[in-house]
Amino acid sequence: MNAGALAARGRFRHPVSAYDQRSAMLLLAPMLLVLLAVAVFPVVYSFWVSLFDLKLTRPLRVPFVGLDNYAHVLRDAMFWASVARTAAFTVMSVAAIMLIALLMALLLNEQFRGRRFLSAVLLIPWAIPYVANALMWKWIYDSGYGALNGLLYQLDFIDKYMVWLGDTRKTLALIANAFVWKEVPLATILLLVTMKSIPADLYGAAKVDGADVWRRFFHVTLPMLRPGFTLVMIYETMMAVRHFDLFFILTEGGPADASHVVAWEVYVETFRRLSFGTGSALAYIVALVTFLLAFSIIRTLGRKL
């Protein structure tokens, strides 16, 4: 029974050709397979695991505990403390990133000799791996021979070398600094791209209306920038909330839990305490929150994400 015969009977009402449907399915099949692996599988499986008390220290006894793991996590003061630290870290980082990226994007938006050079150089922090980034800053923060100490000492801001990462009051801020340094390039590029799409006519009209530089910035640039700005802010927030690498390499959650954020807690629970059940529940909670956050934003912003 071919499409023609079906069409003649008026039953084949769908305006999608069979050939196109087949082609699309074939072209899409690999991606669907991969996405099933990364979306459906982890979500379902980790939820399943979180319902059991699975500890790799005693792998043979795995009792079903239902939602107990979740209750345990949500009652744990450590968990909430880590949430607070994550929040502090995120707020600090995102604020700094957005500010610096905005300034840099404004600079790169201008036409001047050497701009291409700056654009190329900008990519360096983005390109290097977090491990190298961590090494670099660990060396700079070093209490014995670090550059930070050296610089401040030479400029007479301090009279002897201080401990930096080991100081619980400074730890989060220092890690945030390393994080910000690496994230700024991408944020800058995304903001720059948005800036470039602001129609030149708007500036022309503003100038004719008598607006000076500051006015033009506040009344043309900033408002037009808002959707892109929001997007980047959301993206960076999500990156900050789930960041792990720097915490592992620089401080391992210390000193005295000063940098013990949620991502670290998941790692410790799963791979140090080897409690996969609770680790799973923890990861699931974090993932769920991030996911819901992102999903609701995708919905409201449409497909611009």
Partner 1 sequence: MARIKFEDVGKRYPNGFVALASLSLEIRDKEFLVLLGPSGCGKTTTLNMIAGLEDVSEGRLYFDDVVMNAVPPHRRDVAMVFQSYALYPHKSVYDNIAFGLIMRKHPKEEIDTRVRDAARRLEIEPLLDRRPHQLSGGQRQRVALGRAMVRQPAAFLMDEPLSNLDAALRISTRAELKQLHQTMQTTFVYVTHDQAEALTLADRIVVMREGVVQQIGAPDEIYEQPRNMFVASFLGNPPINYLEGTLARDGDDMRFARGELSILLPPHVAQKVSAQQGREVVLGLRPEDVDERSSPREGEAVHGRVSSVLPVGSDQFLGLEAEGKLLFCRVSKELHHQQGENIALAVNTNRLHLFDKASGQTLLW
Partner 2 sequence: MSASLHGIGRRALLFGASVLFLAYVLAPVAWMVSSSFQPETEITSVPPHWISHAPTLENFRAIFTTGEEAVTYETRRHGDPATGKFIPSTAKNLLPGMGNSLIVALTVVVLNLLVSVPAAYAMAKVRFVGRSASIYLMLTTRVIPDIALVVPFFLFIRKLGLLDHLGSLVITYLAITVPFSVFILLGYFESLPDELDKAARVDGCSRLQALLRVFLPIALPSLVAVTLFTFLTSWNEFLLALMFTQTPASQTMPIIVASFTSDFTISFSFINAAGVLAVVPPIILAVMFERYIVSGLTAGAVKG
Residue 255 binding partner per list partner 1, partner 2, none, with a CB distance cut-off of 5 to 8 Å that depends on partner kind:
none
Min CB(10)–partner 2 separation in Å: 19
Closest CA to 172 of 78, 255, 76, 290: 255
| Residue 8 touches which member of partner 1, partner 2, none, C-beta under 5-8 Å by kind | partner 1
For residues 15 and 114, which CB has a smaller minimum distance to partner 1 in the complex? 15
Alpha carbon distance 134, 141 (integer Å): 10
Distance in angstroms (rounded) separating the CA atoms of residues 95 and 90: 8
Q: Both tokens of residue 253?
A: 């959650």
Please list, in sequence order, all residues whose beta carbon lies within 8 angstroms of the beta carbon of residue 192, skipping any fewer than 6 positions away: 105, 108, 109
19-78 binders of partner 1 (CB under 8 A) = 19-20
User: Which of 17-25, 190-198, 255-263, 288-296 is the region at the interface with partner 1 (rule: CB under 8 A)?
Assistant: 17-25
2 binding partner 1? (CB under 8 A): yes
Are the beta carbons of 5 and 14 closer than 8 angstroms?
Answer: no
**At its nearest, how many Å lie between partner 1 and the CB of residue 8?**
5
C-alpha neighbours within 13 Å on the C-beta side of residue 20: 4
Closest CB to partner 2 among 84 and 304?
Answer: 304
Nearer to partner 1, 17 or 296 (CB): 17
Looking at the Cβ atoms of 85 and 138, the one nearer to partner 2 is 138
Interacting partner of 154 out of partner 2, partner 1, none (Cβ under 5 to 8 A depending on kind): partner 2
Residue 18 binding partner per list partner 2, partner 1, none, with a CB distance cut-off of 5 to 8 Å that depends on partner kind: partner 1
- Hey, what are 221's tokens? 């640039």
Instruction: Report the alpha-carbon distance of residue 99 to residue 187 in Å, rounded.
Output: 10
Under the criterion CB under 8 A, does residue 130 sit at the interface with partner 1? no
| Residue 112 binds which entry of partner 2, partner 1, none, CB below 5-8 Å type-dependent | partner 2
Least distance to partner 2 from the beta carbon of 260, Å?
Answer: 15
Q: Which two tokens stand for residue 167?
A: 């100081």
| E strand or H helix at 78 | helix 77-109
Distances in Å between the Cα of 187 and the Cα atoms of 59, 61, 115, 181, 305 are: 44, 48, 17, 11, 14
230 contacts partner 1 (rule: CB under 8 A): no
Q: Which residues of this protein are in contact with partner 1, per CB under 8 A?
A: 2-4, 7-8, 10, 12-20
